[in-house]
Amino acid sequence: MYPFWGELLPMVVVFGLAALVASVLPLPVSGSDSTRVEPIDGLRGYLALSVFVFHIFLWEKYLRVGTWGKLDFHFQNHLGQSSVALFFMITGFLFWRKACLGAPPVDWARLYISRFLRIYPLFFISVLGVMILWFSHNGLALRVPKFQFVKESANLLLLTAFSPEPPSFNGDRMVGLLYAGVYWTLPYEAFFYAALPAFAFLSHRLVPARYVIVGCASLLGLFLWGPQQAYLWCFAVGAIVALLVRRPELSHRLARPHFSFLFFGLLGLLVAVFPGAKSPGAIITLGFMFLIVASGNTLLGLLLLRPSLTLGRISYGIYLLHGLILWIGVHYFSVIVKDEHPLLTRNWAFLCTLTLLLVVVSWITYRCVELPCLGRVGQYTRTIRAACASTRTWRRRIFSGPRLNDSPRKPPVAPS
């Protein structure tokens, strides 16, 4: 068994080295958004790094005993489960605030396009990397019929949202090892975004009927999909926090520095009492912790440090790409052997190399993929609207038929 410091020290090393690397990288710019809460931006990077450390522990267990699943220690499990739960709370908070509480009416077309461009381009690159690595490691031969191969490839590219079972690729059901299984969270985000118009309508907001229909269809699809109820509650907790922080007396009080100690105390309570983040008590505890940060508490200034903000900006890349980098490290330049010694207590060069590589690659993909795509949201929105307007015009011309006043008029007859 690991002593407590054997669990904590790898996280400290990863956080410290990632912050050091982020401090020397230029701070990536981000689009102006009145709904941004900087402490939440600073928190995101540490949540993504926690998931990275969680999957290092999982890889260690897999290499030793051949199973990929729940770990043996509360702290290790919370690195993954609680971080994902807080990610869902952040999504619920930010977009409930934007869609259901914001002053101006929501431009739903622009919101959907911006979410697609935020999630999908880097996700597509990640899936492409998974496919390339799989073929490079296993050979180019197809192991399944062509139709099944196309179906499995499409399932990966569609966020794995339409498969009740773990995704496979070319007949390999362990393909999730290449991306550390992180794709499972993306359908939750996609369903929530699509359902926002229905929530806004129920909150007495003015929403076009076509978007309300999309939102209701999304809720129906979510019900048929069968998600884990605990993670749906995390979105609800984020929405509740968005309502609570509207009370200035509460948010100003929670933003005071001494509430930072309450945050860390709740974190210790969470790890000590709850084995994971899926129980009601754990979700409530995480909700109180998130309420403190969402109120503007910077955790003694930690979340506003330049490295924290940099890691927060590139957190999506850290979350999405760390599985690929871990797989490459384990298979191509690791000196790990299957023995009784923990990986992280004897292979610090491996840990530091992967952390450095992950932060740099995530920073590059943010600058070269995420930012350019987000910068084209307005352009693509105008283009799609123009195309839709043109389609409606042609449809009216085709199906309405000639109008009476469109018939050619006879020239007037000159008087005799």
* Mean predicted confidence (pLDDT) in 110-130: 93
Q: If pLDDT is split at 50, 70 and 90, which confidence band does 6 have?
A: low
d(CA 352, CA 58) in angstroms, rounded, equals 17
Short-list 359, 131, 340, 111, CA closest to 215: 111
Please report whether residue 229 resides in a domain: yes
Contact 107, 249 (CB under 8 A): no
Q: Is the pLDDT of residue 94 over 50?
A: yes
Amino acid code (one letter) for 11:
M
* Mean predicted confidence (pLDDT) in 282-300: 95
Q: If pLDDT is split at 50, 70 and 90, which confidence band does 164 have?
A: low
CA distances, 406 to each of 214, 402, 409 (Å):
38, 7, 9
Please report whether residue 333 resides in a domain: yes
d(CA 157, CA 175) in angstroms, rounded, equals 14
The per-residue pLDDT for 173 is: 83
Please report whether residue 162 resides in a domain: yes
CA distances, 293 to each of 39, 59, 251, 286 (Å):
6, 31, 9, 11
Please report whether residue 200 resides in a domain: yes
In terms of residue numbers, what domain contains 323? 4-23+35-388
Burial class (CB in 10 A: 0-12, 13-18, 19+), 136: exposed
Amino acid code (one letter) for 41:
D
Q: Is the pLDDT of residue 339 over 60?
A: no
pLDDT tens, position by position, 225-274? 888 889 999 999 999 999 999 998 999 999 999 999 999 999 999 999 99
Q: In the chain, how many domains are there?
A: 1
The chain-wide mean pLDDT, for the chain, equals: 86
d(CA 80, CA 69) in angstroms, rounded, equals 11
Please report whether residue 352 resides in a domain: yes
Q: Is the pLDDT of residue 51 over 80?
A: yes
The per-residue pLDDT for 340 is: 47
Please report whether residue 408 resides in a domain: no
Tokens found for residue 142: 């197809």
d(CA 226, CA 228) in angstroms, rounded, equals 7
Q: Is the pLDDT of residue 318 over 50?
A: yes
Who contacts 272 (Cβ-Cβ below 8 Å, separation ≥6)?
74
Q: Is the pLDDT of residue 12 over 60?
A: yes
Q: If pLDDT is split at 50, 70 and 90, which confidence band does 10 have?
A: confident
Who contacts 335 (Cβ-Cβ below 8 Å, separation ≥6)?
347, 350
Tokens found for residue 65: 């005993």
- Consecutive H or E run containing 87: helix 74-96
* Mean predicted confidence (pLDDT) in 54-78: 85
Please report whether residue 377 resides in a domain: yes
Q: Is the pLDDT of residue 286 over 80?
A: yes
Please report whether residue 401 resides in a domain: no
- Going by the DSSP 8-state scheme, the letter that residue 169 receives in this structure is B
Radius of gyration, alpha carbons of the chain:
25
Residue identified by tokens 């440090």 is 305
Q: If pLDDT is split at 50, 70 and 90, which confidence band does 342 have?
A: very low
pLDDT tens, position by position, 182-207? 988 998 999 999 999 999 998 888 88
Segment among 151-165, 257-271, 351-365 with least mean pLDDT: 151-165
Q: Is the pLDDT of residue 1 over 50?
A: no
Short-list 133, 79, 116, 413, CA closest to 270: 79
